[in-house]
Every structure is written in structure tokens, then in C-alpha cells.
Amino acid sequence: MYASHSHRRQLSEQNTRRPPTPPPDYDGADNSHSKCSYIFFPRFDAERASLLIQCNLWRVDKQGKPPYIAVIGQSEQTTFSRLISEIAQTKNVSALRLKTLFPTTPDLRGVSAPDKVYVDGHGDPGQSYFYSSNGDRFYTCDVARALVKLHLPDNVEVRTTACWGGSTKEIHFPWHEKLQMESSEKMRALHAHIESNYGCFEHTLAGALEHSLRLRQANRPSGLVSGYIGKVTTVANSTEKLRIGDNGNGELAKEHAEAAFPMLGSSDLLSLRRSDVRRSAVGLSSKVNRPEFCGGSNS
């Protein structure tokens, strides 16, 4: 989800940004609470309604996962129900299924550390705002203020599902043809290319949101806000994409959300599994979660 907006507004908060610090050691596990995924839209419109329908149908029917729980304020409930019902009819979703496919919550009071909150919208590299299909901008300071007002706990992870939310610029691969990344060395080289080009985290959309949240939540640790790199899809799809296999080698996979990268000298895109290119203040998820794949260091 991307566009070519090139204008940047300097937030009044920008000059007070704190440098990233390692997150404290803590265990947010709560065995009495089953993990849930919540999704917050800076603006909920027909485009987001259609996307949510596709997401939840795929999660429930294809992946066997529970649906995203939409964070919809009381004042937006009527609009939400109307848009979901109208679009669901075009996709032959029965009224009975609507009740189970599209759970909502008016706030985030019931969210705890095992859960994740996704913030969904369009994004551009190095910008400090999400935007809607008609170009309206939602700056990270305002999004953070809304999340805190909704009682987002300071120990809950937030992920931005916007294009290039974890990078300061578009990253192009200098390969003229699609490569089968069959070896772990090639996969390491691929991720090293991303790391050498994604820029300072503080200057990304996800970094700006983390900064804004930490200004309002004094106990929020660094590293709990992340963004994806590439032209990402919120909905999983059947496109073939590369992922890191159990042995560190590249594998072709489907049924995942996608992160696509332009390739120099080609109109083709290099498609990776989106979850492998999620970035926070402590680095790429593939490096943080798989230190043996990237040489053992998370720094």
C-alpha cells in the first residue's frame, strides 16, 4: 500500500526524540490469556472494510486462525456495521457469518502483553504519517494519542502494516532476474542488503510512532513498535514468495502476507514473506528471532 507522496511535515516532537535503547528483560507471557490480534485504522472507510473482510476470511478459512479484532469506537460502530454489511454482500458472506468473522472492541482495555495491535493504512518510506485512499494524512503523534486514549497498555506490541513502514527509502535489489535463494548464504546476502539500506529506525514511520508512544507512555520499552519493509500486503495471498526455512536456506512459500521489492533493470518484483522483513529498534525480525541464521548477533 503505497503512493508517491514526497512531502514531509516536521513534527514538533521530532527534536525531542530519544535514541533507541535495548528493551528491558521482561516476560509478558500470561497463560490465562489467549493471544489475540487487534487492528486499528486511523480512518475506517470502504477500502479498509473490504481489506478487513479479505483478511478475516483468509485467516479463518485458509489459515485456521482467529479473525482480527477491529478497534472501533462507539461513534464509528454504525458506519463500521454498514460498510461491512454492504461489502460482505458482494462477497456472498452471510449475515450469520458476519457476527463471528468481524468481532469489534470499543477500546484496548482488555489487551495484554501476549496480544498484538496492528495499525493499518497506507505509508511511504521515511514519512511520519499514515494516509488514506483519498490522501488524508494521519500523523504518528495523533495516532499515538488515539491509541493511548483507547487505553493501549505500555507493554503491548504495536505493528504498523503500511508499505515501507520500517525503512527510510525504497530498497531496490541489484539483480536483473529472479533468483532462487536456495542457500543460506544467499539468504544472508539478501537480508544484509536490506539492512545496509533501510536507514535509521528513528526516521521511519514505525520509529516515529514508537517515539510518539514513548513520549506518552513513560514505561514503554524500546523495541515494541515495528514496521515492515517493502510494498506490503495486509492480506495473505497465494503468490510465491521466499521465506527463511528451518535450516536457514531459502524456501518458496505461499499463504503468507507479502513484501515486494523492485529489482533494478527489471519490471519484476522480488517477493518475500512479510514477517521476515519486519523491523523494530532492535533490528530485523529474522535476525532477532533467528540469531543463528544471521551470525548470532542482534545488534
Taken as a whole, the chain contains a residue count of 299
Q: In this predicted model, what pLDDT tens digit does every residue of 98-148 receive, in sequence order? A: 878 899 999 999 999 999 999 999 999 999 999 999 999 999 999 999 999
Q: How buried is residue 161: exposed, middle or buried, by Cβ count under 10 Å (0-12/13-18/19+)?
A: buried
pTM confidence score: 0.83
pLDDT (tens digit, 9 = 90+) per residue, 160-210? 999 999 999 999 988 655 555 567 777 888 888 999 999 999 999 999 999
Type of residue at 140: T
Is the Cβ–Cβ distance between 8 and 203 less than 8 Å?
Answer: no
CA distance 44 to 83: 9
SS3 of residue 25 by DSSP: coil
Residue 184 DSSP code: H
The cell numbers describing 213, all together, are 508512544
* pLDDT for residue 94: 82
pLDDT at 298 over 60: no
Tell me what the mean pLDDT of segment 4-16 comes to. 38
Of the two residues 21 and 238, the one the predictor is more confident about is 238
Query: Which of 8-17, 104-113, 183-192, 254-263 is predicted least confidently?
Result: 8-17
Q: Is the pLDDT of residue 19 over 70?
A: no
For residue 196, what pLDDT is reported?
95
